[in-house]
Structure 1
Amino acid sequence: MSKLFSPIKIGQLELKNRFMMAPMENGLADMGGEVNERIIDFFVERAKNEVSIIITGSVGISPEGRGLPTQLSIYDDKFIPGLKRMNDAIHKAGAKVGAQIYHAGRQASEAVTGIQPIAPSAIPCEIVGNNPREMTKDDILEIKEKFKKAAERSIEANFDLVEVHFAHGYLLHSFLSPHSNKRIDEYGGSLENRMRFPMEVLKEVLDVCRGNVPVIIRISADEYLEDGLKFEEVKTICKKAVEAGVEAISLTAGSYDAVEYTIQPMFIKQGFLIPFSEELKKEVNVPIIVAGRLNSAELINSIVEEDKADMIAIGRGLIADESLIVKMKENDYQDIRYCVACNQGCIDKVFLGQGVNCLVNARAGFDKERKIEKAAQAKNVVIIGAGPAGLEAARVSRLRGHNVTIIDKANKIGGKMETLSMPPEKATFLFFRDYLYNQFIRLGINFVQKDVESAKDIKDLTPDAVIIATGASQTVPPIKGIDSKNVVMAEDVLNGNVEVGSTVAIIGGGLVGTETSKFLANKGVKVHIVEMADTIAKDIGATFIGHLFKTLNEKGVEQHLNAKVNEITEQGIILEDREIKADNAVIAAGYKTNDSIVEDIKKTLKKFIL
């Protein structure tokens, strides 16, 4: 059997395999940080599926240091009973559990806590948009005591391990980083001084935990900022931490100022942290844990087999597929529903103060109420549309025991998934298409190619239930000249159905418009984005937005904001106040639902519609 499934010890704590659930925020706790049934259900579902240890995500050690309103807290004894109840449930389900104790520092917000944030230096975090104050010596003493108390409460709440957060731009990391620490006292300047406060905190925690539970740190191998913390200094910090008594090191990357390296989107290379873990293993003699876009079973297996790390920490991958480890253990790699690194359902939602969900896993965050159970009676289920919604409905219906037929006018499945994957750096969307295709084959779902225009087109299939999953089509805005030969739709451009000239004007600056801009600019086309609002990319999440604007700027894409198109001509487009010369106008102005058959099916098959 793979080395991945052999036991490993962190200090005296024995773990059954090499899989850790990484400490990723999930937004499922109650407002204020109390444990509830929803967060317990979420962790228990992963514990039942062979995770050896779950790190619960950041647990706030102080009220002003909480980064999110729905983040677990441990700054008061009142939190202990709930945490103990959660941990007991995780233990019963078969996993160990660790507390990642932290203070958000300059990445906290008064809007969340009602208290001004504290930091090594009074440098605002651009993403949060806050106004931290510089910590005094009294603050430093107080925070050390709060970390100590958090460690004591962690033991009382039956945590098996304590992880001290040295990463991601939070308080301890912000002291380590020259980017955020501009102090001129004994806590700033040289690495020795910048390490002083984090190491004092660590020693307080170690003193509490020694003989009770092991202590580990999570640290950013590289902050990915020009003036940030770099790996050479990180290696020194790790050596000092091990000398102090740390029993393992968990590697991550980035900070909020380089957030794309903290929760890596599609454009960050898979396994980008592996070279760091491989090198760090040569420097220290404790287990090294690595994370970072590990959404390939073959890659995960090779890391431990080739001794590049001792353990694997997976966050989003276990949100996307709670059974990932079981499927790896059974060598059923084709059944894994990989994370596509879109960040739309997980961290984008959590940053908005909502609970985690997942673009590819509708059960994530709803683990108890969305169980797939056998139906009392098998029915003939007809699904119209073989895109991702239709295929997922077919998968669930088949698992419930129904006979399923899926219909699509195209002789293929996947809907717009290929279109979605066409822009630069979006290819991993095909992971989900491939998963759905594999399920379609292995579950024996019937497929019929047919253009369904009315209820009579499906009567021969004698449906007991009909699911309409016909998706949406691009809207065509009512602009003078919209029927001109030089007007093309964004989807046709992405699918390679049309050719465009050397200059284009894209009408619409949302997700489709900006991704089409990248696609064309990458081919050397001069691109103008025309948007009626005051900004483009309004609905794009924090981990993508910076990279998007950087790419558009590098490719010379011009933005025309608060701009209304009056007319499209053969020479380009005419705005209210100017004209843009362009060979083609590309429409990316939103979508409308394909619902023309709904009423007829409702009317004709009244008792069968779902």
Structure 2
Amino acid sequence: MLNHLFSPFEIEGKQLKNRCVVPAMVMNFCNEDGTCTEKFTEYHEAKAKGGFGMIITEDFAVTPRGKGFKYLPGLWNDGQITGFREFTERIHKHDTVIIAQIYHAGRQTSKDVIGEAPEAPSAIPCPFSPDMPEEMTVERIREVIACYGDCARRAKEAGFDGVEIHGAHGYLIAQFMSPYSNKRTDEYGGPLQNRIRFALEIIEDIRKKCGKDFIVGYRISADEFVTGGRSIEDTKTIVPYLDRAGISYVHVTAGVYRSFDTVIPSMYCSHAWIADLAKEVKQVTHLPVITVGRYNDPRIADTVLACNKADLVSMGRQSLADPETPNKAKEGRFEDIRQCIGCHHGCIGNLLANIPGTCILNPCIGHESEITDVKTDKPKRVMVIGAGPAGLAAAISAAKAGHSVKVYEKNRWAGGQFRLGSVPAGKGEITSFISWQMNELKKLNVPVMLETEVTKELVSKETPDIIIAATGAKPIIPPIPGVEKDFVTTSHDVLSGKRNTGTNIVVIGGGCVGAETANHLASNLKSVTLVEMLPEIASDEVVVPKWGLVEELEKNKVRICTSTTVKEIKDHAVVLSGRVEEELPADTIVLSVGSKSENILAKELKEQGYDVRIIGDASKVGLAGAAISQGFELGRSL
């Protein structure tokens, strides 16, 4: 199995033990002055231990003005070298090639991050930044070129096996290369030979300062997916110039910030979605080509290699969900791999808030040194009520700590509301995480009693030392006149299959759950109207999945009424008030205005003297990541 993925590969004399690559991903784990931290080191070391053949670290800023985020690594001065020399020594102990990605954000940053105006080839602001960039003079361009070369030289002195020039995603080099962002008319703008000059001079400066035996990779957006941006044909024309200039490999990605959903695709995007673009690039160069883009299954990565679409495969967010993916895959333990679901909440959601990244499925990310194996010397009988992600996480960590654990779930399936979230289009991979949790419990010999409702009598019979109440939440029923009518139901009942609907449906509540329920129904050829009292829908969703959801709603012709409330529910109709004033016919009304904690039994058991710990939505309704983390920590602490 996976003979292609686990075959060795050589780049500039450096031997990679396999074709599994970790691409650069901003996590905000360094100090604000760009120096290395133990958190940064241990985060990468976990992936090296996990079997990745090559790791490309996140965006080393070549100058402080080039930072796009506050806590990036930097090699813009010699004082930063020492910490990263210790870092590379730790990574090399695990037979892993380590590459420093070097970059300048250009206009894709802000004064809040760098303390001054951004700089760019032209005075055109980034769609995601409030600041107008300063147009770079030719003198400043040459200074920055030297900064790239000096940064690469420091990376070599720090023990890195090479650097990857970040010429993708709309950062400074890409800004020069694309007519979308470069409107200059001097030697660095206009026709292609001028727009690529900046990149070619950077490569030349790096080679001059680092020599021929140093890996110098180049990351490029094969297609920028914006009007006026570069296409794959432009990229195929450019790559041979980069090749002749002296790069060592091409890392094929896509997009700019305006097309952010192509830079970091969400669950609404297919696996290996730009592998064919990598194949196109392979046709114009002899250099190794790395592909990236929604690889969360090593078997798919191996297939892409087998089809000769690329030479290596980057598995970025999959390395967050499970840093041990290569080791597990090589051993054929596919059921043990915790797969990324493309949700964006822990990684991108935190990044956009300029705080350290994480993964909602893996509470250990960023806490590798703090989280060690825990073994109790006083095993307890632990009853977990509820097999949602919080309850299962608590059961797993409690069992690993040595406690005797039993899990009870009143429904047919484990997963709680998280499993219901897998029902709408694009969300199906959520079930892979619940399956992973169930597999972990199976290995730990923890029984999970499904279709078993916990009563006080059952608790009395089992006599647990500790009860973990992960009983979730139930839908809020709003006080709308007519809400008791029999054609009114909830998103929970629709998504669980407990209630069918008619063909003309009104969904009340346009948060993420309501919007996804509307999309689910519309994708099944129902006529759906979504009513939301706020000015926008899905305001509780991260930007890229939200874009995907909105696109799906448009494709499925869902009518959306924002800044609108439901005044009354009549017989087979709703009365709308606000931006829209009308009486709207409907044969099914679906309520999706939120949930409230379900913890009555837990409180009663507490009153009877049991040691009850309430977690997840049963404690406070929130997102899955917080519930999983809470369950994980509780199980370890018992």
TM-score normalised by structure 2 residue count:
0.91
**1:476: which partner in 2?**
477
Decide whether the 8 Å contact of 1:109 with 1:116 is kept in 2.
yes
Larger displacement relative to structure 2 (267-276 or 302-311): 302-311
1:587 aligned to 591, 612, 617, which one?
Answer: 591
Find the aligned partners of 2:427 and 2:129 in 1 and give their Cα distance. Answer: 27
**1:603: which partner in 2?**
607
* CA distance 1:399–1:140, change in 2 (3 Å): same
Cα drift, residue 594 of structure 1: 1.3
1:321-365: CA deviations, max 9, x gaps?
A: 011111011111111111111111111111111211112112122
Aligned: 1:423 with 2:424: yes
- The share of aligned pairs that are identical, in percent, is 34
1:223-244: CA deviations, max 9, x gaps?
A: 1223221112212222111211
1:370-397: CA deviations, max 9, x gaps?
A: 2333333433221111112222222222
Decide whether the 8 Å contact of 2:519 with 2:552 is kept in 1.
yes
State how 1:571-586 maps to structure 2 within 5 Å.
571-577=572-578, 578-583=581-586, 584-586=588-590
Corresponding residue SS for 2:564? coil
Corresponding residue SS for 1:427? coil
**1:188: which partner in 2?**
189
Aligned: 1:143 with 2:147: no
Decide whether the 8 Å contact of 1:372 with 1:396 is kept in 2.
no
Decide whether the 8 Å contact of 2:123 with 2:133 is kept in 1.
yes
Decide whether the 8 Å contact of 2:106 with 2:118 is kept in 1.
yes
Letter in 1 for 2:590: V
1:67-91: CA deviations, max 9, x gaps?
A: 1112222222332222223222222
Find the aligned partners of 2:76 and 2:570 in 1 and give their Cα distance. Answer: 64
Corresponding residue SS for 1:79? helix
**2:454: which partner in 1?**
452
Larger displacement relative to structure 2 (144-153 or 550-559): 550-559
* CA distance 1:575–1:307, change in 2 (3 Å): closer
Decide whether the 8 Å contact of 2:482 with 2:570 is kept in 1.
yes
**2:30: which partner in 1?**
29
Aligned: 1:206 with 2:207: yes
Letter in 1 for 2:453: D
Cα drift, residue 571 of structure 1: 4.3
Decide whether the 8 Å contact of 1:47 with 1:90 is kept in 2.
yes
Larger displacement relative to structure 2 (202-211 or 261-270): 202-211
Find the aligned partners of 1:220 and 1:357 in 2 and give their Cα distance. Answer: 25
Find the aligned partners of 1:370 and 1:596 in 2 and give their Cα distance. Answer: 33
1:180-229: CA deviations, max 9, x gaps?
A: 22222222232222111111112111222214521111111221223221
Corresponding residue SS for 1:299? helix
Corresponding residue SS for 2:383? strand
Decide whether the 8 Å contact of 1:390 with 1:468 is kept in 2.
yes
TM-score normalised by structure 1 residue count:
0.95
1:431-486: CA deviations, max 9, x gaps?
A: 212222322333322123422243x4223223232211111122111222211223
* CA distance 1:532–1:608, change in 2 (3 Å): closer
Find the aligned partners of 1:326 and 1:269 in 2 and give their Cα distance. Answer: 25
Larger displacement relative to structure 2 (599-608 or 384-393): 599-608
Letter in 2 for 1:545: K
* CA distance 1:407–1:534, change in 2 (3 Å): same
State how 1:175-324 maps to structure 2 within 5 Å.
175-211=176-212, 213-324=214-325
Letter in 1 for 2:268: F
Cα drift, residue 131 of structure 1: 1.8
Larger displacement relative to structure 2 (595-604 or 173-182): 595-604
Cα drift, residue 576 of structure 1: 4.2
**2:162: which partner in 1?**
161
State how 1:430-445 maps to structure 2 within 5 Å.
430-445=431-446
Aligned: 1:116 with 2:114: no
* CA distance 1:575–1:279, change in 2 (3 Å): closer
Letter in 1 for 2:364: R
Corresponding residue SS for 2:43? helix
Corresponding residue SS for 1:164? strand
Find the aligned partners of 2:173 and 2:18 in 1 and give their Cα distance. Answer: 30
**2:490: which partner in 1?**
489
State how 1:539-578 maps to structure 2 within 5 Å.
539-577=540-578, 578=581
Larger displacement relative to structure 2 (119-128 or 61-70): 119-128
Aligned: 1:403 with 2:386: no
Corresponding residue SS for 1:597? helix
Cα drift, residue 104 of structure 1: 0.8
Decide whether the 8 Å contact of 1:124 with 1:130 is kept in 2.
yes
1:36-95: CA deviations, max 9, x gaps?
A: 221112111111111222111111112222111122222223322222232222223442
* CA distance 1:525–1:320, change in 2 (3 Å): same
Cα drift, residue 554 of structure 1: 4.1
Find the aligned partners of 1:485 and 1:116 in 2 and give their Cα distance. Answer: 59
Find the aligned partners of 1:332 and 1:557 in 2 and give their Cα distance. Answer: 42
Find the aligned partners of 1:26 and 1:45 in 2 and give their Cα distance. Answer: 14
State how 1:309-388 maps to structure 2 within 5 Å.
309-388=310-389
Find the aligned partners of 2:52 and 2:444 in 1 and give their Cα distance. Answer: 27
Q: Number of matched residues?
A: 609
Decide whether the 8 Å contact of 1:572 with 1:579 is kept in 2.
no
Decide whether the 8 Å contact of 1:363 with 1:371 is kept in 2.
no
Letter in 1 for 2:328: K
Find the aligned partners of 1:177 and 1:548 in 2 and give their Cα distance. Answer: 29
Find the aligned partners of 2:380 and 2:214 in 1 and give their Cα distance. Answer: 53
Decide whether the 8 Å contact of 2:251 with 2:289 is kept in 1.
yes
Find the aligned partners of 1:258 and 1:580 in 2 and give their Cα distance. Answer: 39
Find the aligned partners of 2:126 and 2:518 in 1 and give their Cα distance. Answer: 30
Runs of 5+ in structure 1 lacking a partner? none
Letter in 2 for 1:429: I
* CA distance 1:17–1:605, change in 2 (3 Å): farther
Cα drift, residue 416 of structure 1: 2.8
Corresponding residue SS for 1:513? helix
* CA distance 1:526–1:128, change in 2 (3 Å): farther
**2:624: which partner in 1?**
none
Decide whether the 8 Å contact of 2:466 with 2:610 is kept in 1.
no
Larger displacement relative to structure 2 (145-154 or 499-508): 499-508
**2:634: which partner in 1?**
none
Corresponding residue SS for 1:107? coil
Find the aligned partners of 1:129 and 1:539 in 2 and give their Cα distance. Answer: 23
Decide whether the 8 Å contact of 1:464 with 1:608 is kept in 2.
no
Decide whether the 8 Å contact of 1:4 with 1:19 is kept in 2.
yes
Letter in 2 for 1:326: N
**1:12: which partner in 2?**
13
Cα drift, residue 560 of structure 1: 3.0
**2:513: which partner in 1?**
512
Corresponding residue SS for 1:108? coil
Runs of 5+ in structure 2 lacking a partner? 614-637
Find the aligned partners of 1:507 and 1:165 in 2 and give their Cα distance. Answer: 45
Find the aligned partners of 1:31 and 1:149 in 2 and give their Cα distance. Answer: 20
Corresponding residue SS for 2:397? helix
Corresponding residue SS for 1:125? coil
Decide whether the 8 Å contact of 2:13 with 2:213 is kept in 1.
no
CA RMSD of aligned residues (A): 2.1
